[in-house]
Amino acid sequence: MVRSNTYDLRDDTGFFVRYASRNGGIFVDCAIHDIDLSLWYLRNPLPKACWAAGTLQHHPELEDLSDVDNAVGIVEFWGGKIAYFYCPRTQTHGHDACTEVTGTDGKIMVNVMPLHSGGSCRQVRHAK
DSSP state of 58: S
pTM of the entire predicted model = 0.83
Reading the chain (128 residues) residue by residue, the pLDDT tens digits are: 999 999 998 989 989 899 999 999 999 999 999 999 999 999 999 999 999 999 999 999 999 999 999 999 999 999 999 999 999 999 888 888 899 999 988 888 888 765 455 555 666 666 55
- Whether 40 is covered by a domain: the verdict is yes
- Whether 86 is covered by a domain: the verdict is yes
Residues sharing a CB contact under 8 Å with residue 69, sequence separation 6 or more, in sequence order: 26, 54, 55, 56, 57, 58, 59, 62, 88, 89, 90
Residues sharing a CB contact under 8 Å with residue 78, sequence separation 6 or more, in sequence order: 45, 46, 47, 48
- Whether 125 is covered by a domain: the verdict is no
**Residue 24's CATH number:** 3.30.360.10
- Whether 124 is covered by a domain: the verdict is no
> For the chain, what is the domain count?
1
- Whether 123 is covered by a domain: the verdict is no
Q: Which structural domain, as residue segments, surrounds residue 49?
A: 2-117
